[in-house]
Amino acid sequence: MTATKIDGKAYAEGLRTRIANAVRDLSGRGVMPGLAVVIVGEDPASQLYVKNKARQTVEVGMRSFEHVLPASTSEAELLGLVAQLNADPAVDGILVQLPLPKQINAQKVIEAIDPAKDVDGFHPINAGKLMTGVPGLVSCTPLGCLLLIQSVRRDLAGLNAVVVGRSNIVGKPMAQLLIAQSCTVTVAHSKTRDLPGVCREADILVAAVGRPEMVRGGWVKPGAIVIDVGINRVPNPAAGEGKTKVVGDVAYAEAAQVASAITPVPGGVGPMTIACLLRNTLEAACLRRSIPMPQVDFAA
């Protein structure tokens, strides 16, 4: 068996097109969603990511508000900016880029964001809504993973799903999204006994542990759908001294011989995160105004 490659880049492009159509529909009713992105410090990877977010926000017809703060910014100063954005009627979504400098408590900042504008889906209120099955804003990367899974198979009811990783950003919300789809879900982690055996029971296997190619082909159930969330930079001597390459948490070449469908790294889950951020901003704009979402099939 050779797995079908799940093209996250192509799916994200289609999703952004559908979002742009929905934004056009809203603009006809006098609504233009706005996304504010805050970055503290000069981390090159974060700056590039924020630049891409801003570009894609404008491309789908939304307003982009960028706030670039020096690394010396105090916690009080950042919380003050968050309070201003909470009160700004032009801003529907707020995203504070992580990680933050050590003098700032990231959890305190997350909790300061208005849950109605928390398009990252990290606020405890939104996490609680997901846990209890109440509509709310959902963490972008897990939402993107679910959409990619449903691009292969719409009806997930009754399937066994294993999520390797228990972070608040990916693992835990991913498990809740799969439970909502009536999957039987196991959350595995570093203390799980016989992790390879647990993974081999999965019809859906989501790897989000941050360990390069930890999940081997022998861990994959024949015919499983494999979603690789990992982004790990490792040495690449073949390309020259000091060169690196990006790999996932799954040994792709091995797993692709066993799975029915699998996401590559790069080009799999990564492009979906920003697309789902834009989708969340659209949803936040509608929820804040008590208007229905435009009729768009985001899982198409």
243 catalytically annotated:
no
Catalytic choice (92, 114, 118, 120) = 120
120 catalytically annotated:
yes
List, for residues 185-216, the tens digit of each pLDDT value: 999 998 999 999 999 999 999 999 999 999 99
Report residues of the chain scoring pLDDT below 50: none
List, for residues 114-150, the tens digit of each pLDDT value: 999 999 999 999 999 999 999 899 999 999 999 999 9
Cis peptide before 99 (omega within 30 of 0): yes
25 catalytically annotated:
no
Q: What's the pLDDT score for residue 59?
A: 96
Catalytic choice (53, 117, 129, 172) = 53
d(CA 279, CA 31): 15
Q: What phi, psi does 88 have (nearest 5°)? A: -80, 115
Catalytic choice (56, 92, 97, 117) = 97
